[in-house]
Each structure stands twice: as structure tokens, then as C-alpha cells.
Amino acid sequence: MTEALLTLPSSVRLSECVWRILGLNPGKFTLQGTNTYLLGKGRKKLLIDSGEGVPEYVSLLKQTLQESSPDAAISDIIISHGHRDHWGGIRDILSSVDLNPDNDIRVHKFPLSTGSCSGHMEHFPSDIDLQPMHHGQIFTADGVTLRVVYTPGHTKDHCTFWLEEEQSLFTADCVLGHGSAVFEDLSSYMDGLQQLRQLQPKKLYPGHGPVIENGVAKIDEYIQHRQYREQQVIHLMKTNRDRNWTVMDIVEELYKDYPPSLHLPAAGGIVLHLRKLQKDGLVRTACDVQMEDMRTKVWEWHDEETPKV
């Protein structure tokens, strides 16, 4: 990422029923900070994500809530996924009587599947009741109908949210307002992007960065970028089908025009592409090599023309 980030206001009204409040945690991975969103035209408000836990965030949220409506109160906090910068402020919010005088804010999150291990939730407060969220679930506030769209890939528990009244999407960390997203599973991530594209969103509200006005074009850009990189890996390995490759071998070929300092970061993405191609049956690990480190493991092209020995 080389282009400068746009300066975003700490709090701003984006539409008739949407306010964005920054988590006040700018950084390399959070860009201008984590975006949280307040939704609703009347007293009842929904909050998507709760920031990282920066103390000043709650005061900013209170101010925005009061400006939206003098008697406004948050009824539900909807957590997009388990990375701490999206839930770290949850306790501060629940402890603040000004955000819901009735003290009955419900907290929702998509559950991890049985047997999955996700270290990013290990520090979530155990005394906070998490209501399990499901794909297709509907949340409502005055003038707002919000539908959960389960989109694993960035993480196993990642969700996006469809705003019916605006035909728009809150994309969390699946699609960003600047640069490209990272992910744990490329196959699931690509499936999620295709699912979002089918909705034909007019606008995207990302988890980081500015609003994206042409939603479909941005999703297409993300899909095409990943498909281009995958085709590069396929072409390289298929045209050299008799060769075994480590991840760094592939990086040094595909990124030879980039500074060497970028090669190691690029290796992580190539690993995920190889895992997807392995699922697709196009590559496999070489039979005579047993290595745990994905970056040193040896890979080979796999089709009917390269029989296994």
C-alpha cells in the first residue's frame, strides 16, 4: 500500500439512517481506525462493531448518539467477527448508562463451528452474554432492516450485513475502503465475494476506510485481483510441470520486479493460493517431502499428465 490515506472525520452522518464513528485506533492494519456504525432513524439504534477499546471512543459514541436523536439508545451491538479491534470496546459500552438507560443492550456474534480454534476470541470477556447470530437473521430499528450475510474467509466467524432500505452492504473486513483485505481461507473468501456480488449492492460501508460508492465495481476489482494472482501461480507451475516449488521459489518468480523486502509478506498470500489450488486438485505437496512450514514445503503441479510415483 503506497497511496496516502484519506483523512476521515472521527464521527459523521453518512445517510439518513447511518452514522460512522471511528474507533480512534489508526494503524498499519486498521488504516484510519476501525469503523463502527450506528443505524436507525428514531430512538432505537443498532451498533455494528464496538471499536478496540480506546477510552475516548465511548465519549465520541455518546456524542454521536445524542446528535442523532436526543432520546436515542442502543438496543443491539452486532459484532462482525472476532478480531479484537471490532469488539474491544464492548465492556466500556455496556458499562455506560448513557448509551442505554434501560441497561438491556444485547450483543450478537456469529458462533465458531464446533471444534474450530480461533485465538482472536480467547480474550473476549467471559461474563458478557453473546447471542449467537445466524445467516439470514434480521435486525430492525426505526427505518432500518439489516440482514446477516455469513461470509467466512477473512475469519471463520466473519459476517457482513445487508441494509435493505439502501440496498447497501456493511462489509466489515471482507472488502475495505482502501487497499486489499487479508484472509485465512481463500476458497471461502472468494465464495463470500461472489455471494456479495450477487446482491448487487449500490454502496459499501467497510470495516476500515471510506465509503465505497460503486459497490459492485469494488467487489469485481477484489475478485479479479485474486483471480489474476491465481492464474499467475497456475501458469508458472503448469508450464514448469516437472519442477518442484517452494513458496519462496514462486514469490521470487512472480514478484521479481518488486523490492526483496516485499517478498516475505507476499509469501503469506501465495500459501493461501496454493491451499486453494490444492483443494481444487490442481497442485499437491511433493511425495518425498514432509515439512511443517508452509513456506518451505515443496509443491508440484498435479494433473493427469504428471502421475504420482
| 4: CB partners within 8 A, 6+ apart | none
Q: Is the pLDDT confidence value at 2 over 60?
A: no
- Residue 172 contacts residue 207 (beta carbons within 8 Å): yes
Task: Please list the residues that pair with 141 across neighbouring strands.
Answer: 144
- Closest to 226 measured CA to CA, from 173, 178, 291, 181: 181
| 22: CB partners within 8 A, 6+ apart | 8, 9, 10, 11, 32, 33, 34, 35, 36, 60
Report helix, strand or coil for 132: strand
More confident: 154 or 116: 154
Query: What pLDDT does residue 282 have?
Result: 92
Query: What pLDDT does residue 1 have?
Result: 42
* CA pair distance 91, 244, nearest whole angstrom: 51
Q: Is the pLDDT confidence value at 118 over 60?
A: no
Sign of the Cα pseudo-torsion (125, 126, 129, 131, in order): positive
pLDDT, mean of residues 211-236: 95
Q: Is the pLDDT confidence value at 287 over 60?
A: no
Pairing mode of beta strands 144-150, 138-141? antiparallel
**What are the strands, taking DSSP E only, across 224-290?**
283-285
Residue ranges per domain, the chain? 11-224, 240-301
pLDDT, mean of residues 75-88: 96
* CA pair distance 219, 107, nearest whole angstrom: 29
pLDDT band of 123, cuts 50, 70, 90:
confident
- Residue 79 contacts residue 50 (beta carbons within 8 Å): yes
User: Rounded to an integer, what is the distance from CA 23 to the centroid of its chain?
Assistant: 16
* CA pair distance 43, 141, nearest whole angstrom: 8
* Cα-based torsion angle of the residue sequence 131, 211, 119, 152 in order, rounded to the nearest 10 degrees: 70
Supply 21's cell numbers.
Answer: 464513528
Fold of 11-224: Metallo-beta-lactamase; Chain A (3.60.15)
Q: Is the pLDDT confidence value at 306 over 60?
A: no
Q: Is the pLDDT confidence value at 309 over 60?
A: no
More confident: 144 or 268: 144
CATH class in words for 240-301: mainly alpha
* CA pair distance 52, 112, nearest whole angstrom: 21
Query: What pLDDT does residue 239 have?
Result: 94
Query: What pLDDT does residue 203 have?
Result: 98
pLDDT, mean of residues 253-271: 88
Write b or e for each residue in 166-193: b if 16 or more Cβ atoms lie within 10 A of its Cβ, otherwise e: bebbbbbbbbbbbeebebebbbbbbebb
pTM of the model: 0.89
In tens, the pLDDT along 155-185 reads 999 999 999 999 999 999 999 999 888 888 9
